Amino acid sequence: MSKTLLLMAWLIPTALWLLAMTRWRRGILQRRPAGSPEWYWLRVFGIPETEQNRARLLVGASAAGITMVTFGILIALILGLE
C-alpha cells in the first residue's frame, strides 16, 4: 500500500508538471501578470526579460521539479523508507 502511495505521489505531480510544460504553458503565461515572480527570477539570473525566456523558465522549473520528485521517490523506494 505504501509503495502505491509513493508511486502516486510521483505520478500526479509529474503529470501536472508535464501538462504545464506542454499543453498549459500558453494559458499559464497569459494569466501571469507582468510583475509575477517569473520576471524577478529572470532578472536574478541575468536573463533578458522576454516572453520566450519566461516560457523557458517555466519549462526548466517543471523539469527540475520532475527530476527532484523522481529522485526522491526512487531513493525512498530503494532505501525502503515507507
pLDDT value for 32: 83
Domain that holds residue 71: 2-79
Question: According to the model, what pLDDT value does residue 69 have?
Answer: 94
Distance CA 69, CA 28 (A): 22
Higher pLDDT, 3 or 42: 42
pLDDT band at 5 (very low <50, low <70, confident <90, very high): confident
For all residues of the chain together, what is the average pLDDT? Answer: 88
pLDDT tens track for 18-40: 998 888 888 888 888 878 888 99
Say whether pLDDT at 82 is over 70.
no
46: which DSSP letter? T
Split into its structural domains, the chain has a count of 1
Q: Which residues contact 3 (CB under 8 A, 6 or more apart)?
A: 77, 82
